[in-house]
Amino acid sequence: MKAIWNGKIVASSDKTIIVEGNHYFPANSLDMQFFTQSVKETVCPWKGTASYYDVTVSGEVNKSSAWYYSHPKEAAKNISGHVAFWKGIKVE
C-alpha cells in the first residue's frame, strides 16, 4: 500500500492493518521528511487519544492529515506504532 499526497509517496508498506476502513501504516514506513507534529488531538471511545501529523509536500501543508495512537486502549493495541491518513491523502 502507498499513501500519496501532492504527487509524492509519503508512506509505503505491504504490512498495513485495516481498522474501520482505514489502512494503518507501520511508523517506520513513513518518509518522515514530509511529517511534522500537529497540536491536534481527538479521542475515540474504543481506541483512545489520537495525535496528528501535518503532511507537507512541495511547500503545501495538509494540516492534521495523518493520525496515530501513542497509547491505544486494549481493544486497539494492534495499531500501536501505526499511522493512518485522510483529508485528501490517497491510499492505494
For 29-79, the pLDDT digits (tens) are 999 999 999 999 999 999 999 999 999 999 999 999 999 999 999 999 999
pLDDT at residue 47 in the model: 98
pLDDT at residue 81 in the model: 97
Prediction pTM value: 0.96
Average pLDDT over residues 12-36: 98
Q: Using CA atoms, how far apart are residues 29 and 89, in angstroms rounded to an integer?
A: 15
Buried b (16+ CB within 10 A) or exposed e, 12-40: ebeebeeeeebbbbbeebbeeebbeebee
What are the structural domains, with CATH classification, of the chain? 2-91 (2.170.150.40)
Q: Using CA atoms, how far apart are residues 47 and 74, in angstroms rounded to an integer?
A: 8
